[in-house]
Structure 1
Amino acid sequence: MTQIKLNCEWRTQFKRLEGAYAPSTMRSYYSDVEAFESWCREQGLTPFPATIATVCAFLETQGKIVAPSTVRRRLYGIRKVHRLLDLPDPTLHEDVNLSLRKVRRLRPNRPTQAKGMTRNYLEKFLEVQPNNPWGLRNKAMLSLGYDLLTRRSELVALRTEDITWRRDGTLEVLIRRSKTDQCGNGRISFTSCRSAQLLEDWLEYRGLHIAPLFCPIYHGKAINRELTDMVVRRLIRKSAEKAGFDRSIALAFSGHSMRVGAAQDLLSAGHNTAAIMRAGGWKSMDVLARYLEHAEFNVWA
């Protein structure tokens, strides 16, 4: 197989991965392999099959300009291409592992922690929502996301059939797929009565004919289409600004802030980490521990 054909073939082979990986993962794979291919072209090197020395040089060069986590992800992309094309895999050699260790030591970095949208913030954010269809949707999204400890991708992926009303006025919600549950086994979560009422208000406006639980609104009409997960981050940050918080504080919030803040509130209320892990569907204690680091400092900034 000629080099030109190999350089085109990996894109074709990547289509085999669609459906097995999340769309965001696929976008990262394409981006990372294209970065490697472009770098090799600039250096006059062959990307596929790559030599051990080429991979090492690429990783160490990338380590000077991007985060170690990005370097590691790009290594996985290179590995995936070689396996899909049935080429000798240079990425498992010990020299490559040593290069990756050099990158981590060169730029040690602590993961950035999103500011938690704790209940105090939630109350303020709910208060500033407008009295219109967008406000109905935004209130339901904020309250439900907090109660369910959702990631932003999980929140926008909810479907109408995932919601069950309970006799006590709360909701039972099936979260079908998450970052750590790609096979879609799902987890069951529950909400407050307030979230149930806010969602009922939204659905009364939206109607029951739309599949996504939350959808775009165009000229005052609900559109039968999913929101992108970026909408969640914008909603939280804009709510913080409308509530009068400094822009620097608003920008510290992210689409993960509902999940972080709810977990911090649960810890402050006396719940143990095992219960919090079950509530939020965490698989790693290390990740949860990072979320809970600032729980004792949940006061107004």
Structure 2
Amino acid sequence: MHRNFDRQTDRVELLSRLSGLPAHKHTELIEEYQKRSENAFSPGTLRNYRMTIRLFDEWCKRKGLDSTPPISPQTVATWVDDMGGKLAANTIETRLWGLAEFHRSRFLPSPTRHRLVELAMMGVKRKYGTAQRQAPALCKKDVLSAINNLGRSQRDNRDRALLYLATDSWCRASEIVSFKVRDLLRQDDESSLLFISKSKTDQHGQGAYAFLSAKGTRAVLAWIEEAMLSSDDPIITKSQMGGERKPINPATVSRILRRCTGRMDVSAHSTRIGGVHDAFRLGCDLSSIMVAGRWTSPEMPARYGRRILASQSAAF
């Protein structure tokens, strides 16, 4: 008899069949899953996943609870309650994903889908809201002012190239540190295009392009020449002579921006938000901003620019 496809029912049936496997076969499946995860997930996703499991385990120890899967829905719901008001709602949901993946990796049903956990999450959102804390904007005039204050040391020249990459391209830190010399594509007007081979929203590497101004191009080329970088080398490397030709950590981009601007409140995302603010001030429409920042949805650029949009509203 034909049965309509039910994803949840099929998942439960599959898990039931897997639970009947011999212990060594089950262990082999778990080991293979872990190996395949290394290729399937980005390094950042894997870092967040491991951090979530570590933090959950530490929380369970403090509470005298068992963190061994399968974990009870009551325990997960209590964990959600405890995170409420301390973490943003989207961060809590990310941690629930990590706990769900923890169970999937062992071919166990996830407690995060239980109604108790859903209700706990709904309660947190209702009590504390879902607003996300936004990084302060770092507009182009602020970045150019920081660039003008740089000297001519090797570190300054590296930082100059990085600051131009950040403010011209609106790229994320992970994208900035991934640029190789060969990704700089010169144009006739002395500006350049930067080829983004992979990004947070393009995990399968379809590729995209970002803009780099003529001044930015000259700064990047000067750094490439000074550091004697080859085509396959990352553009933003350690500034010391003879240092490894490896990309810097994405977190270092934020530290460099803080050091160069003297602002401790900014992060690598601040130039992306600042670019949106600049564009709205110039009167650019949302679709043009989406193209410049490579967004597929208007939600994020509209959120980034809501302060500017409010100041430009018809209300007076």
State the TM-score, normalized to the length of structure 1: 0.85
Equivalent position to 1:211, from 233, 242, 265: 233
Aligned counterparts of 2:81 and 2:34: Cα–Cα separation in 1:
25
8 Å Cα contact 2:30-2:107 kept in structure 1: no
Separation in structure 1 between the aligned mates of residue 79 and residue 140 of structure 2, nearest angstrom: 45
| CA deviation vs aligned residue, 1:167-191 (integer Å, no higher than 9, x gap) | 2211121011211111121211222
Q: Highest Rg: 1 or 2?
A: 2
In structure 2, the CA distance between the partners of 1:11 and 1:135, relative to structure 1 (3 Å rule), is farther
> What CA distance in whole angstroms lies between the structure 2 residues aligned with 1:295 and 1:10?
50
Alpha-carbon distance change, 46 to 194 in structure 1, aligned in 2, over 3 angstroms:
closer
Summarize the alignment of residues 265-280 of structure 1 with structure 2, pairs less than 5 Å apart: 265-280=278-293
Q: Which one of the candidate residues 152, 156, 162 is aligned to 1:141?
A: 162
Matching residue's letter, 1:173: L
User: Does structure 2 conserve the Cα–Cα contact (< 8 Å) formed by 1:237 and 1:254?
Assistant: yes
Aligned twin of 1:35: 55
Please say if 1:131 is aligned against 2:140. Answer: no
Superimposed CA distance per residue, residues 127-177 of structure 1 (whole angstroms, 9 cap, x where no aligned partner): 111211111111111112211111111111111111111222111210112
- Other-structure match for 2:15: none
Structure 1 SS opposite 2:131:
coil
Instruction: Name the SS of the counterpart of 2:108 in structure 1.
Output: coil
**Paired residue total:** 285
Q: Quote the Cα distance in structure 2 between the aligned partners of 1:95 and 1:140.
A: 51
Larger deviation, residues 39-48 vs 116-125:
39-48
Q: CA deviation at 1:195?
A: 0.9
**Secondary structure in 2 matching 1:117:** coil
Distance 1:274 1:100, change over 3 A: same
Offset, 1:10: 7.2
Distance 2:221 2:160 in 1: 11
- SS of residue paired to 1:45: coil
Whether contact under 8 Å (2:183, 2:194) holds in the other structure is yes
Alpha-carbon contact 1:52-1:93 (below 8 Å) kept:
yes
Separation in 2, partners of 1:259, 1:64:
27
**Gap regions ≥5 residues in structure 2:** 1-18, 20-25, 312-316
Match of 1:251 among 264, 267, 274: 264
2:277 equivalent to 1:264: yes
> Which amino acid in 1 is paired with 2:291?
R
Q: Residue 258 of structure 1 aligns to a residue in which SS?
A: helix
- Asked whether 1:17 is paired with 2:37, we answer yes
2:259 pairs, out of 218, 232, 238, with 238
Letter in 1 for 2:125: R
Could you tell me the TM-score, scaled by structure 2's length? 0.82
Which residue is 2:295 aligned to? 282
Q: Which amino acid aligns with 1:251?
A: M
**Structure 1: unaligned runs, 5 residues or longer:** 242-249
